[in-house]
Every structure is written in C-alpha cells, then in structure tokens.
Amino acid sequence: MRIVSDLDWEKKLMDPIGERTLKPRKTGITMVIDKGMGLLAFEDFLNTASEYIDIIKLGFGTSPLYPKDVLEKKIGLAKKHQITITPGGTFMEVAVSQNCVNSYFKMIKSLGFNGVEVSDGTIDLSRQFRDDLIKYGTEEGFMVVTEHGKKRKGTKINFNELTHTVHSDIEKGASLVTIEGRESGVEVGIFDENGKCSTDDIVQIMNSVTDPDKILWEAPLKSQQILFINSLGPRANLGNISPEEVFALESIRRGLRSDTFHLAHK
C-alpha cells in the first residue's frame, strides 16, 4: 500500500520516488536510538514523527537508569504508535556476563518491551548460546533483532563470518540482522576513520545473503544514509538514527532532498 497524506497533498509532491509504504513495513525500516529522551519530549516526538519510525532502541544499557513509571510510559507510547521498542544490545550482554539472562527476559517482558536485541559487540558468544538467546526471545513473543560486528575501534567486518551469521540468525528466528556501526558511524564495521564505506562492500554483502531485506545497516551519519539509499533505494533498512534526524532521513527516502532528488527522475 502506497503512502497517503491526511493533508491531501498531491501524491507526487509527498513522495516523488513513489516507493514509500505504510506501517507495518517489511522494508525501508527506520530504527531510532534513544539515548535518554525525557518523557514529554518522547511523547511529542512520537506525535510528530511516529509514522516514519519502526523500531526504537533504548541505547546501550540505559534501560535500568529510568524511573520505572517513566520507562513503562515510554514503552506504552511506542507500542501505541505501532513501534517496536527494545533495550540496547549491550544491556543483553551485561545480562549474559552477569549470568542473569532469565531475570533479564522476565523483567523486560514485565515492563512491556516487545523487542529484544541479541549482540556480541563487547563480549564473545558461542554460536549455540546465540541460537538459544534468539530462540528464547522469539518463544517469549519478542521481535528479535540481532547484531553482527564488534564495537572495538578499527574492527572490520569479515564477509564470510557475516554471511554465516545472517543465515544462521534468520534460520533461528531473528527478524533483522544489524550490521554494527555504533552511534558514531566512524572506524567500525564497514566504515573507515572518516565514516565512509565502499559501495562495492555494500553490494557484496547484499549479494552474499539469501534475504537482503533482513539486513539493517547502522548509519547514523547523513552521508551514510544517502549512500545506502542511493545504492539500495528507499527500501534500505537503516538504524541508529538520532530522533532529530528522522524527518531528514524520511525526506531522503522520498526524494524530497537534493541528495536523492535524481531517484525520482531516472
């Protein structure tokens, strides 16, 4: 179903490229990283931009730092707007390292989270343990998003390992597999010290997996978002988007910025 406007804009004015779809989306997913937004700002943000957001991640291990009532309200607001909300993957890694995974799952379920991220950016997980976490998360009713790549500065993606991880994670029930880019987008994963990456690397990764629509690219920088959409089109799944950049990214997706204007006029 194509996007429509309740302001009754001419379709070609609202979406010149003509490929944006309504939620729930399977492609063109936007994942926002929330690093501690206040409740009133969060509510205003969703009232303004929720149609363009599919997933909100409470970054890193920030979830236990909120007052309980504030956290529950944020979760409730996200779900009201058809958004999957998940704790950061680092928090799951804390649970693994502290040997309290069962307690972690019990708590996030009781709070109302409807998504969970399984990652090993800071710790090492065996393939079997990773499989068990994905399986348990799906059985408990969470949307499971996994992540591939280390957070250490200068760490590069191994394409063979990535391909194996994507295939295995999806087979075990993961909805999306995120390619690590951190919140900085610099000198990690496929990005160099200037936040740049090769179009050839993107194409190689997309061609190496059987379901490329399951890949979500962490792309916090505008230049990265433009590169992915110019390379893959508006269907590119992008993550670690800051709240203040949601409208800018949506404009890029639709050809409402000069950076992707040409996609509507091929």
d(CA 124, CA 92): 12
d(CA 74, CA 20): 27
Q: Does residue 134 fall inside a structural domain?
A: yes
Cα Rg of the chain (Å, integer): 18
Q: Does residue 93 fall inside a structural domain?
A: yes
Whether 258 has a pLDDT exceeding 90, the answer reads: yes
pTM exceeding 0.75:
yes
Average pLDDT, the chain: 90
d(CA 54, CA 165): 23
Write out pLDDT tens, residues 196-214. 776 777 888 888 888 999 9
Q: What is the structure's pLDDT at 256? A: 96
Q: Where are the beta strands (DSSP E) in 8-167?
A: 30-34, 55-58, 84-87, 115-118, 143-148
Measuring CA to CA, which residue among 146, 204, 205 is closest to residue 175?
Answer: 146
Whether 38 has a pLDDT exceeding 90, the answer reads: yes
- Structure tokens, 26: 């399977």
Q: What is the CATH number of the domain that holds 202?
A: 3.20.20.70
- Return all residues near 241 (Cβ < 8 A) that are at least 6 apart: 30, 31, 32, 33, 219, 220, 225, 249
d(CA 31, CA 246): 9
Q: Does residue 19 fall inside a structural domain?
A: no
Q: Does residue 148 fall inside a structural domain?
A: yes
Whether 149 has a pLDDT exceeding 80, the answer reads: no
Identity of the amino acid at 176: L
Write out pLDDT tens, residues 74-102. 999 999 999 999 999 999 999 999 999 99
Q: Does residue 64 fall inside a structural domain?
A: no
Cis peptide before 24 (omega within 30 of 0): yes
Whether residue 161 contacts residue 120, with contact meaning beta carbons closer than 8 Å, is answered with no
Q: Does residue 15 fall inside a structural domain?
A: no
Q: Does residue 266 fall inside a structural domain?
A: no
d(CA 52, CA 190): 26
At 181, the pLDDT band (50, 70, 90 cuts) reads low
Whether residue 179 contacts residue 151, with contact meaning beta carbons closer than 8 Å, is answered with no
How many domains does the chain divide into?
1
Q: Does residue 18 fall inside a structural domain?
A: no
- The domain in which residue 182 lies consists of 86-247
d(CA 104, CA 91): 9
Query: Burial level of 125, CB count in 10 A (0-12/13-18/19+)?
Result: middle
User: What 3-state class would DSSP assign to 137?
Assistant: helix
* Helix intervals (H) in 117-259: 127-139, 159-172, 199-208, 222-232, 246-254
